[in-house]
Chain A
Amino acid sequence: MALLEIENLHTYYGNIHALKGISLEVEKGEVVCLIGSNGAGKSTTLKTVSGLIRPRQGTIRFEGEEVIFLPAHEIARGGVVHVPEGRRCFAQLSVEENLELGAYSRNDKAAIREDLAHVYELFPRLKERRKQYSGTLSGGEQQMLAMGRGLMARPRVLLLDEPSMGLAPVLVDQIFEVIKTLHDEGTTILLVEQNAHMALQVADRGYVIQTGEIVLSDDAKALQHNEMIQRVYLGLA
């Protein structure tokens, strides 16, 4: 039984049929990426999993339990932690307060302090800025903060939505370095990316989504050598 199982998910925005029967699985300890172009339904998939949007049909099982009717905050408390697109840090709170809010549903003070230290270790930049309002951070720093905030919840599965979006290449490398580290530490990650090249390098497996449907799924290595992927997503001839 996979940790996270999504079956035949149909999500609508009004009358627009955004997800047309998505099915995917994430095993414990795996990094799975979901690649696709703009508007293919990547973010919608994550939002449906984390409960921000209600699907019309389908099932989402986490550790074998149906979570589809739970409100978003209960899904988050269950360990499905969504780091949303566009970072969405709380601009009027300091870096450290943002991180503390990440651990909102936890009460184990000592462990929270350990995790805070761990996040600062992964992102030394955040430690330098910990008293600063997060609204004053650069885009890259905000991405680090959003990921750090997600990690503070001790995720059983981490949903990362476009962590590389709008970042300078150096920062993209840094972010993916961290994703690799998290993978090595055993964190389960479902990664949504437009940057297929980077995503396939860190992932174990990948799914390709086009206009709301999964069109391909395979090992990341195999996808990297797939001709269609090379042509459409990797920009290789």
Chain B
Amino acid sequence: MPSLEDAVHDLATDVIRVHDLRMSYGPVEVLKGVDFTVRRGEVIVLLGPNGAGKTTTIEILEGFRMRSGGQVTVLGVDPARGDEAWRARLGVVLQSWRDHGRWKVGELLAHLRAFYTPYRTPFDLDELLAAVGLAEHAGRRLSKLSGGERRRLDVAIGIVGRPELLFLDEPTAGFDPHARRDFHDLLHRLSDLEETTILMTTHDLDEAEKLADRILILDEGGIVADGSPDALARKVARDAQVRWSVDGEHFVHATDDVTAFVRGLFAQHGDAVQDLEIRRATLEDTYMAMVLKEVRR
């Protein structure tokens, strides 16, 4: 039984609480009891195969979709009953859009920004355009933007109201590596400077590993893994792979105590040890192991 003090503390720091969330489309049950919480300032990446219910989960949290069952609070409010003041505290970037083709970049961003002014202080227009790398495109029509530029504008619109909580559904689809790195910098800045809580989905495991404080893997209608990228990797594969060569001959060894093993290696061979390489399990290994385990079951 948690004390009242603990409960109040949780309310203050938990931005999202999901308990036993269920969602059915007709007879098909997509979410079968999802549980997780997100604390203020955390960056959470939601992973899972196509059709696992990632978008459905995010849409329920955004208040865009009614759930079939379970308890959900977002910023202390049930999203099914969220009002406009609540909405003003959220930022939303959904999957690919192709709207407002006739509008100019700066024109649209200024228009949507204005909706937030009664509630909070939105970002400065020029600063934001510069931050997403669209400063020189402010006068460009949306229909003339490339896929990646459009996605960057989506992100700019999503964060223009300086949200406390930002939802991003596959934000970097169609980004080139450079745009991707800029985007990661932007998210780091939001998270560090503005204390924005971020919940995003992606198919890019490398990106997930770079950005996430915590990763949730959604599969078969439930959360099958929840933890930091490191913790998840250790959970699945404790062993690291050690590769080395001695006198041109190559060796591989798997061990759960790399430090002791390598110390032994040097004690035995000294300077003869070459090409030393230690590879810990990556998020990709973890992900594949988790999701495949689900498939086999």
Are A and B physically bound partners?
no
Identify the A interface with B (CB < 8 A): none
